[in-house]
Amino acid sequence: MPGFEFWGDEERKEVNDVLETGILMRYGFDGPRKGIWKSKELETEICNTFGCKYAQLTSSGTAALTTAMAALGIGYGDEVIMPTFTFVASFEAVISVGAIPVLVDINETLTLDPLAVRAAITPKTRCIMPVHMCGSMADLEALMDICREHNLVLLEDACQSIGATYNGKKVGTIGDAGTFSFDFVKTITCGEGGVVMTNNESLYVKCDGYTDHGHDHAGVDRGADLHPFIGYNYRISELHAAVGLAQIRKLDQFLEIQRANQSVLKNILSAIPEITFREIPDGGVDSCTFLSWFLPTEEITKTVVEQLKEAGILAGNFYWYNNNWHYISKWDHLKNADFLNGQGTEITNTLKQLATKSFPASDRVMSRCISTAISLGWSESQVNEKGEKIADIVKQVLSKTMVTMG
C-alpha cells in the first residue's frame, strides 16, 4: 500500500540534489539553489498526473485541508458535513478554522450516505466534505447534486485514495478543491506532506499565500512581498518535496501492483458466500490500497478478528469499529470537546452533543467490516498464502456459528 515499500535510488537522487545546494526551504535563495526547485517541480507533476490546473503543496494532509477550507471562506460557525468514518485529521481541520464538524452516517461505500447528508443540512451548512476512505470514493454525483441544489462547497478529502478515479477523473480534482496526504503510510509519500488541488485560479492564489504567512509571492524579492491577508506556516520543505517527486513517478507501478494483489485476494475471499465487499459507486475505479469486506454479523466479525489475532495474522487487517483513530465510537476527545485552548460555546456545546448521539446505520456497516491493507511487496505466493489463511479462519468461525445456531 504505502510508497515507502518501494524506496530506492530515485528518492536518494532527488534528495541529494537538494543536499548538494544546502537550500532546504522552498522559497527564496534563488542563486545558491542553482536552479533546484523540487516543490515547484512536484506541483507541476501533480497537475500533469492528476489532471488539475493548480496544486499547492503543504506540510501535511491536515494542513492541506485547513488551507483549502480557509481559501474557500469556511470559518466561524459554518457547518461542514463529514462522515463518521474517517481519520481524526478531517475533523481537526474543520475545527482549526472555527467551523463545526457535523458527522453523519455512512453506507456500504464506507463514505457519506447522500440521504444522511440531505437530512443534516441546515441554514449554517457551508460545505460537504466526503472522505474517500481506504482507496475508493463517495457517490460524488449525488453529493454534487446536493451542493448545486443548496449552493454548498464540495471539498474532497482524498488523502487515502490517491489514484482512484470517478467517471474518468482522478478523485481530489472533482470538487471545488481536493486534498491528498503524502505522509509516511500513504500511496505516495514525502515522509510528511500534502497538497491542495483545484481548477480555480483565485482559490489557488489564496492557498499559495495562506501556506506562507500571507506572502503574495508576486516579485523576485521575498523580503518585499506584500501580505494581502493573514496566513500561517504550512510550507513543505524541499527535502520532503524531493522524496515525493521520485514517488509520483512510480505511481502507475504502485497502482498496477495494488490492483493485481487485491484481485488475487478478492478472488479467494469471494469463494465464501457469506463475505460481501464494499460498494464502489457507479463510474468509480478503486485504487486498491485496501480490500474492505463484510461478514454477516458483528458477533461473527469480532470472532474472526480475535482468531486472526490468535493466529498472528491480524496485522494489516483493520477492524475500524474498534479503532481509536478512525471511527466516531472512540473519539472521546471530540465528544468531550477536550481542547488545550479556549473555544467558543457554540462549537463546544455542539461537539458535546455527540456524546449522546447514536449512529446505528454507521454501526451496522462498520461493526461488520474488515479492511485488509494491500502490500506492494507481496509476491503472488504470499498473497495466496495470506488469502487462504484468512479464508480458513472465516470458514471455521462460520462453521462453528452455524453449529451453535443449529
**pLDDT single digits (tens) 343-381:** 989 999 999 999 999 999 999 999 999 999 999 999 999
How confident is the model over 179-202, as pLDDT tens digits?
999 999 999 999 999 999 999 999
Q: What are phi and psi of 57, to 5 degrees?
A: -70, 150
Q: What is the pLDDT of residue 15?
A: 98
Report CA-CA distances (Å) from 74 to 58, 65, 84, 102, 234: 18, 11, 20, 14, 18
Cβ-count burial 255-284 (b if 16+ within 10 Å, e if not):
bebbbebbebbbebbeeeeebbebbbbeeb
Host domain of residue 147: 3-251
Domain end: 251, 275, 302, which one?
Answer: 251
Length of the chain, please?
406
Q: Does pLDDT of 402 surpass 80?
A: no
Quote the CA–CA distance of 241 and 55 in Å, as a whole number: 13
Name 163's Cβ contacts closer than 8 Å, sequence gap at least 6.
170, 187, 251, 254, 255, 287
Evaluate if residue 155 carries a pLDDT over 70.
yes
List Cα–Cα distances, 336 to 114, 351, 352, in angstroms: 27, 7, 5
Nearest residue to 154 (alpha-carbon basis) of 179, 175, 180: 175
Number of independent structural domains in the chain: 2
Residues 190 and 107 placed together within one structural domain of the fold: yes
pLDDT exceeds 60 at position 403? no
Q: How confident is the model at residue 219 (pLDDT cuts 50, 70, 90)?
A: confident
Shared domain check, 53 and 115: yes
49/132 same-domain check: yes
Per the DSSP assignment, residues forming a β-bridge with 242 are none
pLDDT band at 54 (very low <50, low <70, confident <90, very high): very high
User: Both 242 and 264 in a single domain?
Assistant: no
CA distance 51 to 174: 10
* C-alpha Rg value of the chain to the nearest Å: 22
Final residue in a domain of this structure, among 251, 283, 318: 251
Question: Average pLDDT for residues 168-176, to the nearest whole number?
Answer: 98
Is 363 found in the same domain as 231? no
**pLDDT level of residue 1 (50, 70, 90 thresholds):** confident
d(CA 58, CA 183): 11
pLDDT band at 321 (very low <50, low <70, confident <90, very high): very high
Angle made by CA atoms 406, 108, 397, in degrees to the nearest 5: 30
Are residues 169 and 296 both part of a single domain? Answer: no
Note whether 284 and 244 are same-domain residues: no
Residues 281 and 392 in one domain: yes
Confidence of residue 247 (pLDDT cuts 50, 70, 90): very high
Q: Which of 198, 232, 251 is the last residue of a domain?
A: 251
Among 63, 71, 255, 270, smallest CA distance to 171 is for: 255
The single residue of 38, 170, 186, 386 carrying the catalytic annotation is 186
Q: Dihedral sign for Cα 131, 156, 154, 127, please.
A: positive
Do 235 and 121 fall within a single domain? yes
pLDDT digits (tens, 9 = 90+) for 95-152: 999 999 999 999 999 999 999 999 999 999 999 999 999 999 999 999 999 999 999 9
| Residue 92 and residue 233 in one domain | yes
Name the grid cell of 126. 457551508
Which residues are registered as beta bridge partners of 276?
A: 294
Asked if residue 397 lies in contact with residue 370, where contact means CB atoms within 8 angstroms, the answer is no
How confident is the model over 72-91, as pLDDT tens digits?
Answer: 999 999 999 999 999 999 99
**Sheet strands side by side (includes 276-277):** 276-277, 290-294, 369-373, 317-318
> Quick check: is 186 catalytic?
yes
Average pLDDT over residues 280-299: 98
Mean of the per-residue pLDDT values of the chain: 96
| CATH number of the domain where residue 95 is located | 3.40.640.10
* 276 in the same domain as 237: no
Regarding whether 315 and 392 lie in a shared domain, the answer is: yes
What integer is the mean pLDDT of 10-30? 97
pLDDT at 139: 97
Of 99, 95, 90, nearest in space to 129 by CA: 90
CB of 137 within 8 A of CB of 129? no
pLDDT at 97: 97
CATH number of the domain residue 387 falls in = 3.90.1150.10
Q: Which helix (H) or strand (E) holds 304?
A: helix 298-310
The predicted pLDDT at position 221 comes to: 85
Q: In terms of DSSP H, where are the helices of 23-87?
A: 38-50, 61-71
123 CB-side CA count, 13 A: 0
